[in-house]
């Protein structure tokens, strides 16, 4: 398994390490429920160094990137990020991405660990096609990513990186920590106020330790990350969608730039016009039982869909999840059953947890 | 490490004689593997079960598992405290975190279960 620069820190902190897409990462430290509640009430640190990062600079590189992604990078206000996906010709999702526009022709693109080899090959192949002053480079191997998430995240980070105070939700900028250049984004995967810090590997341990030294900042693992994001209905690449699903199906319709070209667009247009496709939809249970990944969803005795994410939602106190359902069943309140024990589930609305502080 | 007054299954349940009845739960090893328990599905009192029959279910943040009866018998009592406090399974798997109690257990059925020492070796061999 590959190790992030923070591997030894995780072991020293008692992290329980698991294999996540070939990376040795902590699934939990104190316990998933503790870490979940701590993130919702104080602040937690997550090591996301396994994720992919790309530098896209120069007009030709930005254009090449634009041709491969369903978002329009030229329409992102400078200093902001936008969510989207890289698709196959048939519209299938290779990976979801966030592109931060740091300058006119200066993007910082974040992708996932699972499909990174494919994404990297695809993006970097473009480099050969454009002028020498444009660059499209995979910087994943040199970049560590630390997320600080929780209501007190900004108060903590202000002491280390004062520039964070000016960032609104989904904004990003270059900044420095102890004289070292970093990228700072006010985004995350928890629904809470927080930041994603993209830093050179060599300062990851120092930054991790500096942030953990603050009162009420604790490490959290992949387990809490999963319960937190599921309560917010954020899809997970490779689990809630992959090349067998399109952005229309994966509830990303509002992130498709229909007025420009990109790989996969023709297929999406055809699917949109047909109107006939299942959509990733939030579901909940009435008690503590949880739907689980892979459960069939039944309606009136026949299978109508499938659960792709499901867990107990610690902040809402009941089961939460995401399922692909036909469009006629998307109305909140629709009652269905899921799994071999015919667990009663109900269609609900996004987000399931509504008290998140991410926009505050 | 594992209580001597219990017998153990390969599926990590324990069973213990208690005042004429037999209490059943999951081991500390199982609780640790599951992580934070979030729901326990208990049988209805009165249910007759056979040895090895799926009798209860336990859910954690990470997974759901069936709980099999370590011996046949009739369920006469269930741990209703787990409804509001499933975390008792993690906090005291051999005490407050018990699942259900059986009557009419044939003690001969317990002879094919592991004692504490054998169970410790079994867990060790798996990891």
Residue A311, chain B, CB below 8 Å: the answer is yes
Residue bearing tokens 């909940």: A284
**If we measure between CA atoms, which residue out of A256, A251, A233 comes closest to residue A309?**
A233
Instruction: Determine the Cα–Cα distance for residues A265 and A215; give it in Å rounded to an integer.
Output: 49
Task: Walk me through the domains of chain B, giving residue ranges and CATH numbers.
Answer: 7-126 (2.40.50.100)
Would you give the distance in Å from CA B113 to the centre of its chain? Answer: 13
Distance between CA atoms of A354 and B1, rounded to whole angstroms? 44
> Residue A289: which of B36, B39, B61 has the nearest Cβ?
B39
Task: Evaluate whether A310 touches A326 at the Cβ level (below 8 Å).
Answer: no
Protein fold of A2-48+141-232: Gyrase A; domain 2 (3.30.1360)
Homologous superfamily of domain range A278-360: Aminomethyltransferase beta-barrel domains (2.40.30.110)
Query: Which of B35, B38, B63 has the CB atom closest to A288's CB atom?
Result: B38
Site from A30, A225, A311 to mutate, B interface, most B CB atoms within 10 angstroms: A311
A290 touching chain B per CB within 8 A: yes
Is A305 within 8 Å of A274 (Cβ atoms)? Answer: no
Contacts of A156 (CB under 8 A, 6+ apart): A43, A148, A211, A214, A217
pLDDT in tens, chain A (360 residues): 999 999 999 999 999 999 999 999 999 999 999 999 999 999 999 999 999 999 999 999 999 999 999 999 999 999 999 999 999 999 999 999 999 999 999 999 999 999 999 999 999 999 888 877 899 999 999 999 999 999 999 999 999 999 999 999 999 999 999 999 999 999 999 999 999 999 999 999 999 999 999 999 999 999 999 999 999 999 999 999 999 999 999 999 999 999 999 999 999 999 999 999 999 999 999 999 999 999 999 999 999 999 999 999 999 999 999 999 999 999 999 999 999 999 999 999 999 999 999 998
Residue A232 in tokens: 């917010």
Whole-angstrom CA distances from A221 to A28, A29, A49, A225, A308 are: 4, 7, 12, 6, 20
CA B64 – CA B38 distance, rounded (Å): 10
Domain ranges of chain A: 2-48+141-232, 278-360
């Amino acid at each position: 398994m590959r190790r992030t620069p923070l591997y030894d820190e995780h072991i020293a902190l008692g992290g329980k390490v698991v294999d996540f897409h070939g990376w040795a990462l902590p699934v939990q430290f104190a316990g998933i429920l503790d870490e979940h509640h701590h993130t919702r009430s104080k602040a937690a640190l997550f090591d996301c160094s396994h994720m992919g990062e790309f530098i896209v600079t120069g007009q030709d590189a930005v254009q090449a990137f634009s041709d491969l992604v369903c978002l329009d990078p030229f329409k992102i206000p400078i200093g902001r990020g936008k969510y989207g996906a890289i698709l196959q010709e048939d519209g299938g999702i290779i990976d979801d991405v966030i592109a931060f526009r740091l300058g006119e022709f200066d993007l910082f693109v974040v992708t996932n660990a699972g499909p990174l080899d494919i994404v990297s090959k695809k993006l970097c192949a473009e480099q050969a096609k454009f002028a020498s002053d444009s660059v499209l480079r995979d910087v994943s191997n040199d970049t560590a990513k630390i997320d600080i998430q929780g209501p007190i995240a900004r108060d903590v980070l202000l002491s280390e990186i004062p520039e964070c105070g000016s960032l609104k939700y989904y904004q990003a900028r270059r900044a420095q920590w102890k004289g070292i250049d970093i990228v700072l984004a006010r985004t995350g995967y928890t629904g809470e106020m927080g930041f994603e810090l993209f830093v050179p590997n060599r300062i990851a341990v120092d930054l991790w330790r500096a942030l953990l030294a603050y009162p009420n900042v604790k490490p959290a693992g992949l387990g809490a990350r999963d319960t937190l994001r599921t309560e917010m209905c954020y899809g997970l690449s490779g689990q809630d969608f992959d090349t067998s699903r399109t952005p229309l199906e994966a509830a990303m319709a509002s992130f498709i730039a229909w007025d420009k070209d990109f790989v996969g667009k023709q297929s999406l247009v055809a699917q949109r016009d047909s109107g006939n496709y299942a959509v990733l939809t939030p579901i909940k249970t009435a008690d503590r039982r949880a739907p689980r990944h892979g459960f069939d969803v039944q309606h009136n005795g026949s299978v109508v869909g499938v659960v792709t994410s499901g867990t107990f939602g610690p902040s809402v106190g009941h089961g939460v999840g995401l399922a692909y359902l036909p469009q006629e069943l998307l109305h909140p309140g629709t009652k269905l059953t899921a799994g071999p024990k015919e667990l009663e589930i109900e269609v609900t609305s996004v987000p399931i947890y509504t008290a998140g502080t991410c926009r505050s | 490490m594992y209580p001597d007054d219990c017998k153990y299954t390969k599926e990590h349940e324990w069973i213990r004689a208690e005042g004429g009845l037999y209490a059943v739960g999951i081991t500390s090893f199982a609780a640790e593997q599951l992580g934070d328990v979030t729901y326990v599905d208990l049988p209805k009192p009165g249910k007759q079960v056979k040895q090895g029959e799926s009798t209860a279910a336990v859910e954690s943040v990470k997974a759901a598992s069936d709980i099999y009866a370590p011996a046949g018998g009739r369920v006469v009592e269930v741990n209703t405290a787990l409804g509001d406090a499933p975390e008792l399974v993690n906090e005291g798997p051999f005490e407050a975190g018990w699942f259900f109690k059986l009557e009419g257990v044939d003690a001969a059925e317990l002879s094919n279960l592991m004692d504490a020492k054998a169970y410790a070796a079994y867990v060790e061999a798996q990891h």
